[in-house]
Structure 1
Amino acid sequence: MNIRILGCSGSIARGCRTTSFLVDDDVLIDAGTGVGDLTLDELARIDHILLSHSHLDHVLGVPLLADSVMRRRQGRPPILVHALPETLQVLRQHLFNDQLWPDFTRLPSEQQPVLQLQPLAIGQTLTLGAARREIEVLPAAHAVPACGYAVQAPSGQSWVYTGDTGPNPALWQALQGRRVAQLVIEIAFAEADRAVAADARHHCPSTLAEELRHLPDGAQVLLTHIKPGEMETVQAELAERLPGLTLRALAAGQVLQLD
């Protein structure tokens, strides 16, 4: 199983792309600005999009992808956009409303649209893609309804993505007994912005260090969602709090592999 990191930044700047991960060739997890680095052929191979929540940095690639591939996918089933019902309602009301963007859930026709919205629920397990990957929906604790995902590799190990979240006891309960190979966990702010992080329900070094006390044995920790320009500060502040734990920051263009 290959996971291509299209974007893993908390905002944009040169070389920084917002959150998006491509599992194998046909399942997209979140749809930030990194989606724009895919070729048209690669975009047209995507059959499923799983969204963690409704914030713009995670969903803005969905309408643009639909526009790019609509003609190339004619005669094929619609791309299924999977998300919590609250997230799908935001897409319907504020994005695919024929004002901010055309409603690609009805284009090129109501009978054969390029997108179809599919609700999911925390705790649900989906089987998606040509490889029939099992993907469990995990709880997240964010400023809006949100979730994370655990993708199971053939070995039975999991790649876990927390989504945007602050302190989240329910996540660690959900991961009990699971063989976690890689944990992609967000940290959006340096310690100086701890109050902002708390209000926005994101992590800063002190809250993430406390959460990682519950890390499953053997799991590799991969950091995502760090704001542009904050990488060195965040990593140094984490190293002070977790001196015995190896933490790696993801980078756009990186490919992770799980057997």
Structure 2
Amino acid sequence: MEKTISERLLSSVLVCGYLFAVCILGVFTKNMIVLIPFVYAAVIFSSYVFWLKTEMKFPFYVHIGMTYLVLCHLESLSVKNWILVWTAIASLAILAQMVLGIKNHESFGKDSALKVIYERYRLTVSNNKKRLYRTTVHTLILFFIAWSELLFYDYRGYWIMISACAVFIGEDYGRIQIRGLRRIAGAFLGFAVGWIIMICNAGTISCIACFVCAVIVTAIVMPDKYILGSAGISLQAVCGYAMSEGSLTLDLLSERLVWTIVGASLAILLCMLSDKIFNSLYEDKTRYKLIER
């Protein structure tokens, strides 16, 4: 069934709206890290309903949402500023979806978007049981990682969760082990770029410019060039943090790099363990097993 412009618009609005609500809640509560698996599961479900293609079809929205969840822990951030920034990003993303639909000569179709979505949801449950099962296991893994970091690092290791989520994105990004390794490689690339920015004594304006460029690059290159996109995601977080703190430090860059490696490695190891416990968990309709390299 061909995707229509109305479907693109509705799906973009709903997903952006959901992540926006979570991020605003994070601004007020300052205690949102253990809810990240809910964000992951909800966007996974949305991708099934609206796109029915991969494990996660909204990497751009998800990574932006994750970055904002991290930045929402900073007490110096104001709700008003995040509302303005998020609205601008969401508007550009929705506009891009619409333009893409027009470029591909898609029409609104005779059926309403809600009717089409209902039919897709009904078929999703019956035709994608294995993916839903795999999503459930991955969500449990994320809960385990989230509570582990809560017990051992008192929420300060939140970057572990973001890196772990990146490993689960979908087949378009390669198999699970490959995705994890690409995530780590991208973290090193982001560290190198951030280090250059740091030694140049970049100020607030430079950090803002780097943040905006990282958002644009991530949106453009995902998923074909995942290493570059991963570097962009890392830069979004460190530059956003630097905007709040006033400067970019080596400690901040090193912390992001270390926890990215830890998060991606944990996710890979737990996926491999799940593959041993749950029979045929990663056997898919595709030509290969999703867990292997």
- Give the structure-1-normalised TM-score: 0.27
Greater RCO (Cα-Cα under 8 Å, separation 6 or more): 2
Question: If each structure's strand is expressed as a fraction of its own residues, which one has the higher value?
Answer: 1
What's the TM-score once normalised by structure 2's chain length?
A: 0.25
Greater helix content = 2
